[in-house]
Amino acid sequence: MDWKSEWKKLLAIIAIFVGCFYLPIGFDRFNSAVKESLHLVKWYAREHVLLCLVPAFFIAGAISVFISQASVMKYLGARANKILAYGVAGVSGTILAVCSCTVLPLFAGIYKMGAGLGPATAFLYSGPAINVLAIILTARVLGLELGIARAVGAIIFSIVIGLVMHLIYRNEEVEKANSQIAMPDTVPQRSLMQTGVYFACMIGILVFANWAGPAANGGLWFQIYSVKWIIAGILLLALFFMLVIWFKKDELGQWVGASWGFAKQILPLLFFGVLIAGFLLGRPSKEGIIPTAWVTKAVGGNSIWANLFASVAGAFMYFATLTEVPILQGLIGAGMGKGPALALLLAGPALSLPNMLVIRSVMGTQKTTVFVLLVILMATISGIIFGAFF
């Protein structure tokens, strides 16, 4: 018998028992935090799973089945042209404009298909961070200087973080590149145009089904919002006909199987992470176990500590797309400095506790830790510099 392993199990059982024995049921804040965690999970299930995650799972499954590994490596692989690779990663994120959780299946798909660590992490950051509507809303609600700083910072971050991740793990990347040299491309079953239209339809469904309403009626953005379900429905119908005409039955089976594989890997971790995030920090305007007053006090002014705390808090909080703007509006009104506000804007939308749990399952604990620390460090430095000028 392995006594060392058995002792660990015994200690784990004792810890769980002590936690249950002293569970603070009856204390208002604890009861409220439990309630908020369940409310957040319910909201997440209603607002994000069907419209965000399910389309993302199918897109990720399609990447792994219908896009050849050689093609992924050509544009995003360890041996790909760096300007091309980071350009593709950044542009892809801008087009998708998804939240920190919706980007995960897509990141897992391209990473497992052979994308280099640098371009893959650049895409992982850029997807949630370089959100055109969120940047416009930031400028309108929080001020032009914060909107511009957020846009410039997010673009620079995606490239710098990707390059630093590549440099830190360059030896692994060289080994990966060497192993990919002789990999032949497969003969495509469909033309490039057919494949492009197929993916464009799925991405269009993801984008338009989640098209957020503008702050005021009028303008092109509102016009699109008013007919978003019609556009999404037309794209869904077009996708159905493509699947019937262009794809074989066994291909569709592989696609569904790959999509289900991503769902099994990602969904349990996301829901667990959302529960913990809701318990600790609650929802907008609702408190978790950590009092909002503590957070407000910690991010006041433009000190180094305030910027660091804003970056760390933003990294662990869960922000649905666009919700960070009204939250920050309230915090700024309560005394938050503009430096910490920018730090939270650059760290928050791109990271969250659920997001970290899934990233760890894809690329391991060490790389996830380095990625998270890079985001927090760069957000903190950006906040300090911005706060010094504004």
pLDDT given at position 93: 62
Q: Rounded CA gap, 125 and 109, in Å?
A: 15
Q: How many C-beta atoms lie closer than 10 Å to residue 304's C-beta?
A: 13
Beta bridge partners of 115: 77
pTM for the structure as a whole:
0.76
pLDDT given at position 196: 87
pLDDT given at position 49: 82
CA-nearest of 187, 197, 129, 116 to 158 is 129
DSSP calls for 330-368: HHHHTTB-HHHHHHHHHHTTT--HHHHHHHHHHH-HHHH
pLDDT given at position 55: 87
Per-position b or e across 30-40, b if 16+ CB within 10 A of its CB: eebbbebbeeb
Cα–Cα distances in angstroms (integers) from residue 315 to residues 149, 189, 257, 309, 320, in the given order: 18, 42, 32, 10, 13
pLDDT given at position 380: 94
CB 46 within 8 A of CB 91: no
> pLDDT tens digits for the chain (390 residues)?
666 778 888 888 898 888 888 888 888 888 888 888 888 888 888 877 888 888 888 988 888 888 776 677 777 776 777 787 887 777 766 666 567 777 888 888 888 877 788 888 988 888 777 766 677 778 877 888 888 888 888 888 888 998 999 899 988 877 776 766 555 556 667 788 888 899 899 988 988 888 877 766 777 878 888 899 999 999 999 999 999 999 988 999 999 998 898 888 888 888 888 888 888 877 767 778 888 778 777 887 788 899 999 999 888 887 766 677 777 777 777 678 889 989 998 998 788 888 898 899 888 999 999 999 999 999 999 999 998 887
Assign 77 to helix, strand or coil: strand
